[in-house]
């Protein structure tokens, strides 16, 4: 199996009995070297998809490949690091011992354990039993485990879950640094600001299939202009005639114009010349969260 | 091979591995040597039977010790087997391991190898503890410490290990089937005590059940033991057993088949079932 993508799924489907499929004909493409956000509401099929990518569960239909190898195969997993679901470690062993056991399973040298512990800044507590770890420390340990094999592809499921703000910032920086090393990162998250800050491209999944895909900019769409003016009817009549205004709607007592923000001064000039008092003229753009909520509510496909 | 090292490290560091052994040996010594010897001492001097003492001396080490393996120590091995895999589901660590070592059969083989090594330690420890008890009793009674022949001891150790391995493998299978420990241990003990015990018991009056009982773990376990000690002895107390018995070689074959079948079914389930 060969693929130009680091991760590719074609018609990936997972059914459990007669219930609606958890993942339904999912087509996901993640290019090499990018940080790809994988977002969706709870129960959308994100974790099920990630589990199929690492071979923990088998698809009912469709195929998935990672770095050109069948997903979940030893050849693929030798180049993939993953943290999926809640971090799970032997509670009676220290963080270092847990990683030592995993390094033996992975067939990587013991020296990698100290390296990854240092990278996730867990070295000072590495010899404590993991039963004494906070959720944030377990997350770091899970990330360390994912890095053991120096993977080309990282699959991260809610990596900042349970971390304090400082920890979240550190993990985000770590993910950025991993991407700078030309690693591909598939990041599942429901923190939209996290995805917005980190990801090059985003796939939005709902009811088991992708409903939107593109760069953050593409998904957020073109910026618009919000105009508060009086009288509003006269303002509407004037801007309606302007060729640079592509769309026009009224929202919360203001006009929202589909026009390039850099033409704001020209629009303002027209309105003022026509005797309209302009109290606000500001560029606006929906956040990824607003786009996401809109998609989830509507369930309408959108492709950038 | 490195996975075997990982599993050996893991099973060695688990407190339950050694706690189980400590409890098994302590209870085994207490019920097999200390209580019977106390009973012997509390019998009036004139009524003491030489045969009761003989069972506690080094010369009877093989027959006395190995008779405790088919069920008593087997129950501990079953618990050990359940914990080996059942706990992995409870902690979610099977998922963590499979993300590093995706070959499930290789992981299973590594766990099995580690389990079997630990069962060697179990078997040797139990025999050593029992041997020490018999030596102390011989010293106290001024009896000669006539140890069984090396070949007899080696055969007994091998049989003891096989019996533990079969029960442990049943535990592994139950742990995997139930994806946990509590139900698996419960059903395992229930099967050994109740199902096999009652069916064997009713088998004395119902011919069909008597025939069915020939295939049981305890039947074949006690039959193997009988082959080693040269006599088919009934066992009293909880988990009592009074037959049926089969030939020692047949018992050896059936137990080996059980071992392979339990391992095969476990491997199949592990290989095919999703890990969530």
Kindly provide the ipTM of the predicted complex, given to two decimals.
Answer: 0.86
CB contact under 8 A, A102 and B97: yes
Pairing of strands A184-188, A35-39: parallel
Label residue A216 exposed, middle or buried (CB < 10 Å: 0-12, 13-18, 19+).
buried
CB contact under 8 A, B95 and A84: yes
Say if residue B257's pLDDT is above 70: yes
B53 has a pLDDT exceeding 70: yes
More confident: A302 or B65? B65
- Is A164 in CB contact (< 8 Å) with chain B? no
- Give the torsion sign (CA, A153, A157, A162, A166): positive
pLDDT tens, A266-302? 889 998 998 889 999 988 888 888 888 888 777 644 4
Per residue in B141-165, pLDDT (tens digit) is 998 888 999 999 999 999 999 999 9
Q: Among positive and negative, which fits the CA dihedral B211, B214, B219, B222? A: positive
State yes or no: cis peptide before B244, omega within 30 of 0: yes
Contact B276 A56 (CB under 8 A): yes
Mean pLDDT for B88-113 is 92
Interface-testing mutation among B96, B110, B272, B273, with chain A (most A C-beta atoms within 10 A)? B96
**Could you give the dihedral angle defined by the CA atoms of residues A265, A270, A273 and A275, in that order, rounded to the nearest 10 degrees?**
-110
Closest CA to B171 of B109, B108, B82, B258: B82
What's the pLDDT at A92?
95
A295 token code pair: 């998609």
| A100 part of contact set with chain B, CB < 8 Å | yes
Domain ranges of chain B: 2-272
Q: A218 touching B, CB under 8 A?
A: no
Q: Residue B93: what pLDDT? A: 95
Task: Check if A7-79+151-219 and A222-285 are the same fold.
Answer: no
Average pLDDT over residues A203-214: 91
The H helix count followed by the E strand count for chain A is 11, 15
Tens digit of each residue's pLDDT (9 = 90 or more) over B214-253: 889 888 998 898 888 776 566 655 556 776 778 889 999 9
CA A227 → CA A89, A238, A261, A267, A276, distances in Å? 56, 12, 11, 10, 11
d(CA B32, CA B67): 10
Task: Give me the residue spans of the domains in chain A.
Answer: 7-79+151-219, 222-285
Q: What mean pLDDT comes out for the span A75-98?
A: 93
Q: Does A104 touch chain B (CB under 8 A)?
A: yes
Given CB atoms, is A148 within the 8 Å cutoff of chain B?
Answer: yes
In tens, the pLDDT along A160-187 reads 887 888 888 888 888 888 888 889 999 9
A166: its two tokens? 């400082």
CA angle centred on A106, ends A102 and A112, rounded to 5°:
70
CATH class of residue range A7-79+151-219: alpha beta
What percent of chain A lies above the pLDDT cut of 70?
97
pLDDT, position A304: 47
pLDDT at residue A75 tops 70? yes
The predicted structure's pLDDT at residue A32: 92
**Cα separation, A220 vs A201, whole angstroms:** 12
Query: Which CATH homologous superfamily contains domain A222-285?
Result: YebC, transcriptional regulation domain (3.30.70.980)
At A203 the three-state DSSP class reads strand
**pLDDT at site B173:** 97
On the CB side of B50, CA atoms within 13 Å amount to 1
d(CA B270, CA B83): 16
Question: Cα(A265)–Cα(A272) distance, rounded to whole angstroms?
Answer: 10
Strand partners of residue A249: A256
Instruction: Over range A78-89, report the average pLDDT.
Output: 92
Per-residue pLDDT, B235: 63
């Amino acid at each position: 199996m060969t693929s130009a993508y680091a991760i590719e799924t074609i018609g990936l489907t997972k059914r459990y009995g007669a219930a609606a499929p958890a993942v339904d004909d999912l087509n996901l493409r993640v290019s090499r070297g990018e940080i790809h956000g994988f977002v969706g509401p709870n129960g959308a099929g994100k974790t099920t998809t990630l589990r199929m990518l690492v071979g923990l569960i088998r698809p009912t239909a469709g195929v998935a490949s990672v770095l050109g190898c069948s997903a979940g195969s030893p050849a693929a997993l030798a180049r993939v690091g993953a943290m999926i679901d809640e971090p799970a470690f032997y509670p009676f062993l220290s963080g270092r011992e847990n990683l030592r056991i995993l390094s033996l399973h992975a067939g990587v040298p013991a020296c990698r354990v100290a390296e990854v512990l240092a990278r996730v800044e867990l070295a000072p507590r590495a010899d404590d039993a993991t039963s004494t770890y906070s959720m944030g420390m377990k997350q770091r340990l899970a990330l360390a485990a994912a890095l053991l094999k120096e993977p080309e592809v990282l699959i991260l499921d809610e990596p900042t879950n349970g971390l304090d703000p400082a920890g979240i910032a550190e993990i985000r920086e770590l993910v950025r640094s991993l991407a700078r090393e030309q690693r591909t990162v598939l990041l599942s998250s429901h923190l939209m600001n996290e995805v917005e800050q980190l990801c090059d491209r985003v796939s939005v999944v709902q009811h088991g299939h992708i409903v939107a895909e593109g760069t953050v900019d593409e998904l957020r769409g073109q910026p618009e202009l919000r105009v508060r003016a009086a009288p509003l009817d006269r303002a509407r009549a004037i801007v309606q005639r302007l060729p640079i205004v592509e769309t026009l709607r009224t929202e919360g007592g203001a006009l929202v114009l589909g026009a390039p923000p850099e033409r704001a001064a020209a629009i303002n000039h027209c309105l003022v010349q026509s005797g309209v008092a302009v109290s606000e003229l500001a560029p606006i753009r929906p956040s990824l969260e607003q786009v996401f909520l809109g998609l989830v509510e509507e369930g309408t496909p959108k492709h950038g | 091979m490195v996975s075997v090292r990982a599993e050996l490290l893991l099973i060695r560091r688990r407190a339950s591995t050694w706690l189980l052994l400590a409890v098994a040996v302590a209870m085994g010594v207490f019920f097999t040597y200390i209580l019977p010897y106390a009973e012997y001492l509390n019998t009036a001097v004139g009524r003491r039977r030489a045969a009761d003492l003989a069972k506690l001396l080094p010369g009877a080490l093989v027959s006395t010790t190995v008779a405790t393996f088919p069920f008593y120590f087997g129950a501990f091995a079953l618990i050990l087997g359940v914990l080996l895999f059942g706990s992995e589901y409870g902690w979610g660590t099977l998922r963590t391991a499979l993300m590093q070592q995706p070959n499930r059969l290789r992981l299973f083989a590594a766990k099995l190898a580690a389990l079997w090594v630990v069962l060697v330690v179990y078997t040797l420890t139990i025999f050593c503890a029992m041997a020490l008890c018999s030596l102390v009793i011989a010293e106290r009674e001024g009896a000669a410490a006539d140890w069984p022949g090396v070949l007899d001891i080696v055969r007994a150790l091998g049989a003891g290990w096989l019996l533990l391995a079969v029960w442990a493998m049943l535990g592994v299978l139950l742990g995997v089937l139930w994806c946990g420990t509590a139900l698996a241990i419960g059903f395992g003990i229930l099967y050994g005590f109740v199902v096999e015990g009652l069916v064997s018991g009713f088998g004395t009056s119902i011919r069909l059940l008597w025939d069915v009982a020939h295939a049981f773990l305890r039947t074949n376990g006690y039959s193997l033991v009988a082959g080693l000690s040269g006599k088919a002895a009934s066992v009293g107390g909880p988990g009592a057993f009074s037959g049926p018995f089969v030939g020692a070689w047949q018992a050896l074959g059936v137990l080996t088949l059980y071992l392979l079948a339990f391992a095969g079914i476990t491997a199949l389930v592990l290989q095919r079932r999703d890990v969530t």
